[in-house]
Chain A
Amino acid sequence: AQSVTQLDSQVPVFEEAPVELRCNYSSSVSVYLFWYVQYPNQGLQLLLKYLSGSTLVKGINGFEAEFNKSQTSFHLRKPSVHISDTAEYFCAVSSGGSNYKLTFGKGTLLTVNP
Chain B
Amino acid sequence: NAGVMQNPRHLVRRRGQEARLRCSPMKGHSHVYWYRQLPEEGLKFMVYLQKENIIDESGMPKERFSAEFPKEGPSILRIQQVVRGDSAAYFCASSPVDNEQFFGPGTRLTVL
Number of chain B residues close to chain A: CB under 8 A: 26
- A104 pairs with B43, CB closer than 8 A: yes
In the complex the two chains form, what is the Cα distance from A36 to B44 in whole Å? 14
Residues of B within 8 A of A80 (CB): none
Inter-chain contact B105/A94, CB cutoff 8 Å: no
What is the predominant secondary structure among interface residues of chain A facing chain B? Answer: loop
A28 beta carbon closer than 8 Å to chain B: no
Q: In the bound complex, how far is the Cα of B34 from the Cα of A43, in angstroms?
A: 12
- Interface size band for A: 20 to 34
Is there an interface contact between A43 and B105, defined as CB atoms closer than 8 Å?
yes
Interface string of B86-112 (1 = CB under 8 A from A): 000001010100011111111010000
Q: A99 to B54, alpha carbons, bound, how many Å?
A: 11
The A-contacting residues of B in range 21-73, CB under 8 angstroms, are 31, 33, 35, 40-45, 48, 55-56, 59
Q: Beta-carbon contacts of A87-112 to B below 8 Å, as 1s and 0s?
A: 00010001010111111111100000
Q: Given contacts A42-B105, A43-B104, A44-B91, is CB(A103)–CB(B45) below 8 Å?
A: yes
Instruction: Give B residues with C-beta under 8 Å from A.
Output: 4, 31, 33, 35, 40-45, 48, 55-56, 59, 91, 93, 95, 99-106, 108
